[in-house]
């Protein structure tokens, strides 16, 4: 499909979504489903007042830092285990066990260890991203063609050249796919962290609106979180196209 066709399809999908939203608002009432206009007006008002920018910036900073930390740790752990069969055999049962723990279930423990500041929220996002990126990077390293590596060594390729021209191009698509998969979960983790203890952020805004019975405020937070996921996903796709060694 051409770029114009994709844009048209997305606009039609957005129009259909807005139509369904408005129909639901009229059928169920504004308390249960506020209208699109109400939510848009609240977003505009909070933007003019400066509250919206502060909340979005706070959540974005938490998301960016946690995602970067989790991606580096997950990718590094996958490489470390792939380099050593003994370490892989020893660590895999523990990695599998830790991966099975619901990350949101770690929130009370993180708060107990690190208090209610920025650190537990950062770690929650990082842990959410870490294991998704680890799984896909680990799988990507298994796809590296051993015969190609051997042939390159025969022709005198150094370890650095092998990494640059063979390993990295093979693994990067898996890393980016892991980030794409992890992104919605990372945003959810950031919001949950902000529910618990934060003075600003999209999650804090949603929780404050819930306590006040402000349905429009809750929907505003949901819309902002969704927009943040779509924006970050678009940035990842753009970066993926810019890197010549990654082929979708």
What DSSP letter does each residue of 108-121 carry, written as one string?
A: HHHHHHHTTSHHHH
Count Cβ atoms below 10 Å from residue 78 Cβ, excluding itself.
26
Distance CA 12, CA 10 (A): 5
The pLDDT of residue 1 is above 70: no
pLDDT tens digits, 83-131 = 777 777 778 778 777 777 777 777 778 878 887 778 888 999 999 999 8
Task: Calculate mean pLDDT across residues 2-18.
Answer: 78
Residue 245's pLDDT band (cuts 50, 70, 90):
low
- Contact assessment for residue 190 and residue 60, using Cβ atoms and an 8 Å cutoff: no
Distance CA 51, CA 63 (A): 19
Q: Which helix (H) or strand (E) is 150 found in, with range?
A: helix 146-154
Of the two residues 79 and 225, the one the predictor is more confident about is: 225
Q: Give the per-residue pLDDT at 91.
A: 80
Q: Give the per-residue pLDDT at 244.
A: 58
Task: Express as a percent the part of the chain with pLDDT over 90.
Answer: 14
Q: List the one residue out of 86, 66, 85 whose CA is nearest residue 74.
A: 66
Residue 194's pLDDT band (cuts 50, 70, 90):
confident
Angle at 229 between CA 224 and CA 233, to 5 degrees: 145
Looking at every residue in the chain, the average pLDDT score rounds to 83
Distance CA 233, CA 230 (A): 5
Q: Give the per-residue pLDDT at 247.
A: 47
pLDDT tens digits, 137-188 = 888 888 877 777 777 777 777 767 777 777 777 788 888 888 889 998 899 8
- Contact assessment for residue 220 and residue 43, using Cβ atoms and an 8 Å cutoff: yes
The pLDDT of residue 248 is above 50: no
Of the two residues 244 and 133, the one the predictor is more confident about is: 133
Distance CA 183, CA 59 (A): 13
User: How many residues does the structure list for the chain?
Assistant: 248
């Amino acid at each position: 499909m051409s770029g114009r066709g994709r844009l048209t399809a997305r606009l039609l999908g957005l129009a259909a979504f807005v139509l369904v939203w408005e129909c639901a608002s009229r059928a169920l009432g504004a308390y249960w489903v506020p209208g699109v206009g109400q939510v848009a007006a609240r977003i505009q008002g909070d933007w003019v007042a400066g509250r919206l920018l502060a909340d979005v910036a706070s959540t974005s900073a938490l998301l960016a830092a946690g995602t970067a930390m989790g991606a580096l740790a997950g990718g590094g752990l996958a490489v470390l285990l792939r380099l050593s069969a003994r370490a892989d055999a020893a660590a895999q049962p523990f990695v599998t066990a830790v991966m099975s723990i619901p990350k949101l279930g770690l929130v009370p423990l993180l708060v107990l260890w690190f208090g209610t500041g920025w650190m537990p929220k950062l770690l929650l996002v990082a842990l959410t991203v870490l294991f998704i990126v680890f799984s896909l990077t680990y799988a990507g390293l298994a796809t590296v063609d051993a015969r190609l590596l051997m042939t390159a060594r025969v022709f005198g390729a150094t370890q650095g050249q092998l990494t640059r021209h063979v390993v990295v191009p093979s693994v990067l698509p898996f890393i980016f796919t892991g980030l794409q998969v992890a992104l919605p979960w990372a945003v959810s983790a950031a919001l949950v962290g902000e529910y618990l203890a934060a003075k600003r952020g999209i999650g804090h805004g949603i929780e404050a609106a819930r306590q006040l019975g402000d349905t429009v405020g809750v929907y505003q937070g949901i819309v902002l979180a969704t927009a943040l996921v779509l924006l970050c996903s678009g940035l990842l796709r753009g970066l993926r196209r810019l890197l010549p060694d990654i082929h979708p």
